[in-house]
Chain A
Amino acid sequence: MSYFSEIYHGIKTLLTGMSVTGKYFLNARKGAITQQYPDNRDTLKMFDRFRGEVIMPHNELNEHACDGCQKCEIACPNGTIEIIWDREIDPETGRKSKIIDKFIYHLSMCTMCGLCIDVCPTDAIVWGQNFENSTFDRSSLTRVLNKPGSTQRADARAKE
């Protein structure tokens, strides 16, 4: 008798599978996951987890959170990040502290492993969602992430 129950079971499971794909077929018009990229360029929003490039967010006062600790530079497995830094004397406390001059990021060498972002104590660098990174000139992939004339944010300085 197991012969017939196997046939019944087989047909039942096949029909279950067909009903699943049948529902997909009927919903394909509205539920299509395809992004028709160059057409929807204006409305396309990449998902939050997407690793496009490393960026350093600045607030409206042109301040960033990087205190130049260089942990990201050490963590990077292929030398993508170079930090040119300096020391300055804090006018309030009189202590010497590090400030960054240039945060240089070589996108052409980056493997998007995310170790720099994991290790950053002040969350100064985050993932950006931009993926249109191709250029005709390799040198334009080397970027300075801190904007000119930017300073360190006060709350990030207090964390030290």
Chain B
Amino acid sequence: MFLEITQQIHQWLLSLLPETAVPYVEMVLIAVVYLALFAVLGLFLVLLERRVAAWFQLRIGPNRVGFQGVLQTIADALKLVSKELVGIKKADKFLYNLAPYFVIITSLTALGLFPFSPYFQGFDINIGIFLLIALSSIGVIGILMAGWSSNNKYSLIGAMRSGVQTISYELSIGLSLLTMVLLTGSLQLSEIVEVQKNGWLILQGHIPAFIAFVIFIIAGTAETNRTPFDMVEAESELGAGFHTEYSGMKFAYFFLAEFINMFIICAIATTVFFGAWLSPFGITDSIVWLGPFWFMAKTFVLIFLMMWFRWTFPRLRVDQLLTLEWKYLLPINLVNIVLMAVLVWQNLIIQF
């Protein structure tokens, strides 16, 4: 269905415009589609976070604006747009203004790589996973820039903690994904989905795949700077962390990017471990347009899991954070890779 629609739009544009201009118009159209997806996802995730947090704390949550509060985040966004962008005299103006865009553009770019369905994927590059890891860690440069240029010690401490955290946990993310790449034999996301038609990778790789998934979700939580790893913006210690000095829409960019990063981590997990747009047991694989639905459903289950973490666990200390990574996750991960390699070598994987 997506293919037909895109073909029709392509034909229509060809009849309307000169042939050289068509690709550019299509690029703009695709960019608009992804921007819309980005905005809707961000607003929805913030609302979801607030409702879920309320339910975890036996509260009700926002339920006034619109039916059951569905318009709450739109109202918040309008408020943030209308607010003044307060600047700081002694800030490094260039970096200060650049940082939010750095953060938001990296997460927006990463969104274009996911296979929402066989025909709905922005950019199917042959090093897909590698590019995703790279993009998800570029965001931290924006955070470092924001912390440094704000000329505020709390911002700087928050940004430095973010750097420490990302450098450490990037290893775990990379290695746990590498474990799964041993199974698929390819870094291309569409190929990875193709392999999973014989069973999702978490079933194919059973024990080591499950260990890799647990490590990935822990490291992913740390990568997105969410509680219990939210020392970057630990309210009780640092004010608001790296975005203390930001206001209005620039703050909203950081805020949105944070939530989109959570979506990205969960979408990576969905793609690599849970078969992306494939339905469970292949029940609706013949109906292609259900692909995005399954993708989103799996991703939101994982997002719920991360929210569950956030509203259950207390924040780690810096030394505990590093202990967890270097003494526990990393050695387990290395052993896990060997285990997976043996599994693949001896052909002990489960395939349906």
Q: Within 8 Å of chain A (Cβ to Cβ): is B59?
A: yes
B54 pairs with A28, CB closer than 8 A? yes
- Contacting B at CB under 8 A, from A1-46, are 7, 14, 17-18, 20-22, 24-25, 27-29, 31-34, 36
| Contact across chains for A32 and B308 when beta carbons are under 8 A apart | no
Smallest distance from the beta carbon of B170 to chain A beta carbons, Å?
22
- In this complex, how many residues of chain A approach chain B with their Cβ under 8 Å: the count is 17
Q: Mark B308-336, 1 if CB is under 8 A from A, else 0.
A: 11011100000000000000100010000
Given A7-B328, A25-B55, A28-B55, also A34-B312 (CB < 8 A): no
Cross-chain contact A33 with B56 (CB below 8 angstroms): no
Q: Are B308 and A24 in contact (CB under 8 A)?
A: no
Q: Closest Cβ of chain A: how far from B57's Cβ, in Å?
A: 7
User: Chain B nearest CB: distance from A112 CB in Å?
Assistant: 26
Contact A24 B56 (CB under 8 A): yes
Q: How many residues of chain B get a CB closer than 8 Å to chain A's CBs? A: 15
Distance A85 CA – B130 CA, assembled complex (angstroms): 87
Interface pair B58/A24, CB less than 8 Å apart: yes
Query: In the bound complex, do residue B312 and residue A17 qualify as a contact, i.e. CB atoms below 8 Å apart?
Result: yes
Q: Whole-angstrom distance between the alpha carbons of A24 and B56 in the complex?
A: 6
How many Å lie between the Cα of A109 and that of B205 in the bound state? 71
Cβ of A28 to closest chain B Cβ, rounded Å: 4
**Taking chain A's interface residues, is the majority helix, strand, or loop, or is none over half, making it mixed?**
helix
Inter-subunit contact A32/B58 (CB<8 Å): yes
Task: Judge if B297 is at the interface, Cβ distance under 8 Å.
Answer: no
- Let me know if B60 is at the binding interface, CB within 8 A: yes
- In the complex, chain B residues whose CB is within 8 Å of the CB of A28: 54-56, 58-60
Q: A7-B328, A21-B308, A22-B308 are in contact. Are A14 and B313 (CB under 8 A)?
A: yes
Which residues of chain B have C-beta atoms less than 8 A from A32's C-beta?
A: 58-60
User: Which residue of B55, B60, B313 is within 8 Å of A36 (Cβ)?
Assistant: B60
A-facing residues in B294-309 (Cβ within 8 Å): 308-309
Contact B59 A34 (CB under 8 A): yes
On chain B, the residues within 8 Å of A17 by CB distance are 312-313
Report the Cα distance A137→B131, complex, angstroms: 66
Q: Is the CB of B60 within 8 A of A34?
A: yes
The answer to whether B59 and A21 touch across the interface, beta carbons within 8 angstroms, is: no
- Given the known inter-chain contacts A18-B308, A22-B308, please indicate yes or no for A31 contacting B58, CB distance below 8 A: yes
Known: A18-B312, A27-B58, A28-B60. 9 other contacts (CB 8 A): A14-B312, A14-B313, A17-B312, A18-B308, A21-B311, A25-B56, A25-B308, A29-B55, A32-B60
User: Which 6 pairs of residues, A with B, have the shortest CB-CB distance?
Assistant: A28-B55, A21-B312, A34-B60, A17-B312, A34-B59, A25-B55
Q: List 29 A-B contacts (CB under 8 A).
A: A7-B332, A14-B312, A14-B313, A17-B312, A18-B312, A20-B312, A21-B56, A21-B308, A21-B311, A21-B312, A24-B55, A24-B57, A24-B58, A25-B52, A25-B55, A25-B56, A25-B308, A27-B58, A28-B54, A28-B55, A28-B58, A28-B59, A32-B58, A32-B59, A33-B58, A33-B59, A34-B59, A34-B60, A36-B60
